Structure 1
């Protein structure tokens, strides 16, 4: 791959995840402070990510893979996204905001697959080259969070003044830039002949359902759906929690989670090889329990280090469960169902699992909110901690260990 192409793809990844991290991290705080949203309404807003994940395969499978170059549809989607993001910036109540955030997620979630498609199409050895491009996405997310904290939009005083509204304007501009920039990217023509028949089950990865006949894979599949329930608590509540208890520069501090992803991604092959798949998955599950216990009993004073450790565990929580799960799925599926199996797991986790998780998180958050809008965070965080522990124990008891080779 030419250096010029690598630079182009890296900047594309940087903008893609700068956009996502530039508004999604602080969304929960914005909803509560600017729009006075309830926990249930916040759950509705965060659930748009799941609806986007469910609808995305149709956009990719029925349109992008058949009729248009991937870089062109990437550009169109981000230009539409820029307009929707600007409308979100102007919204003053949840009723007006929700249709825009739902529409935005429907056009944004397919772009996550499109940037990968554009990248892989230019690579001679994706296994070695992709990580050096994808890491700029993580850097983009970190820069977005750092910028929000540098501009002081996430301080307790600024949040009270409604400054988080600016994140949507910043993201709208970045989305417009990526939309226009996408048309300069290397050409990525359709992969499938437009006359070739595509079934709904093929698009959604349902052809891989036969893998569920394998007892171990069925247990892993169920665990993947269930572990997304505590994951939803983090996405929905972490930013409001840190802001409410008075943690300064909270958005930058949350980006420590992305920094740790890079570290734990490097540690994953060594852990995987030494301890095997089952122990790797269990380490990821138990990390969720530990993280939420740290959140429950930490504070913004002398015990703030507990919150920082909880955030830094994100790499262990995410990489050791989801990335190793992708490797396990790839190994179990074989050549015939590789793509279908990954699509099925994505639909089950980011689609169904997160949808259930956001709904439950909304109910529990409202349950522990007082009349002044403040929360009993200790009680809130105990729920996902306990749930993750139960899932881990059941997985440890029921899943039979099997040898899986780590494939980079």
Structure 2
């Protein structure tokens, strides 16, 4: 791959994830403090990500893959998205805020597949080259969090600016997308079935008891996962942690580090131990949050954030590898699509709603009873871990 194309793709990834990370992390705090939203409403807002994840395969499968070049669709989606984000920043009522957010996330979530498709088209060896491009997405997310801290948007109560910044970045990426290398529709002139889009071709994998257990565990573990994405920034701000969004970027830094260490761990530990360690990290993380505070126990809060690398990479990345191995080349895409719908779609949708409900039930005069709230996803994750340990057979020992 030429250096100029590598730089183009890296900048595309950076902007695509920056435009998401700049507002997504702090949205719960913004909705709670500025729009007086309750927990259920905040859960509905975060749930738009899941609805977007469910609808995205249809946009990609029925439109992007058949009729239009990927970079052009990416540009159009971000230009429309930029306008929607700007309107989001001026809404003062949740009922007015939500429709804009829902439409935006339905348009944004397909861009995650589009930037990957544009990148893969330019690579001769994606397995070796993609990680060096994808990491710029994580760097973009980290940069967004650090910028929030540098501008003191949380401290000054100016989180509406995050949507305006995202709007500007989205518009820039929208124009920039038309300058990216051409990526013609890969399935032009072919028929795409509904079964293929939703991953139904891979349903036969569920006849394998081991894969069924993994599938159910993946769905269930996304319930406690949603608590982290939805509640952590609000939690850190309420307990008095300064520049919470910036400090939360330690999670992405940890994720990047462990992603590069994954091959070493995978070869030594195998699938089952990797998955168990990932689930165990969820339990430890939420216990750290439950007993941590902004004073002498602030180290527990930082530990809980840093554990994100193990929580995410050891379970989800390992799960992607395991799915890839079990599916084989013929139904590989369908299998990954089925897992994505189950996790980022259905699993997190349930998790966001439950997190909002739990937060409302433990609201106090001064904020929330966070010590109790965090023990609930810890207990859920622990239950899933125990069942998985008992029922899942290590495929490497067969």
Alignment of 1:17-32 (within 5 A): 17-32=17-32
Q: Which residue of 1 aligns with 2:176?
A: 181
Deviation at 1:373, TM superposition (A): 5.7
Q: Which residue of 2 aligns with 1:294?
A: 288
How many residue pairs were aligned? Answer: 398
Distance 1:2 1:297 in 2: 50
Instruction: Name which of 320, 335, 338 aligns with 1:326.
Output: 320
Q: Which residue of 2 aligns with 1:53?
A: 53
Alignment of 1:115-130 (within 5 A): 115-130=115-130
Alignment of 1:6-405 (within 5 A): 6-155=6-155, 158-159=156-157, 163-194=158-189, 196-370=190-364, 372=365, 374-403=367-396
Aligned-partner SS, 2:30:
helix
Aligned-partner SS, 1:168:
helix
Distance 2:191 2:270 in 1: 40
Normalising by structure 1, report the TM-score: 0.96
Distance 1:267 1:5 in 2: 27
Distance 2:298 2:366 in 1: 23
Aligned-partner SS, 1:23:
helix
Deviation at 1:271, TM superposition (A): 1.4
Unmatched runs of 5 consecutive residues or more in structure 2: none
Deviation at 1:193, TM superposition (A): 2.2
Per-residue CA deviation, residues 195-229 of structure 1 (Å, 9 max, x unaligned), is x2221111111110000000000000000000000
Aligned-partner SS, 1:403:
helix
Distance 1:273 1:140 in 2: 30
Distance 2:394 2:119 in 1: 35
Distance 2:262 2:4 in 1: 30
Distance 2:348 2:366 in 1: 25
Distance 1:64 1:262 in 2: 29
Deviation at 1:128, TM superposition (A): 1.1
Normalising by structure 2, report the TM-score: 0.99
Aligned-partner SS, 1:193:
coil
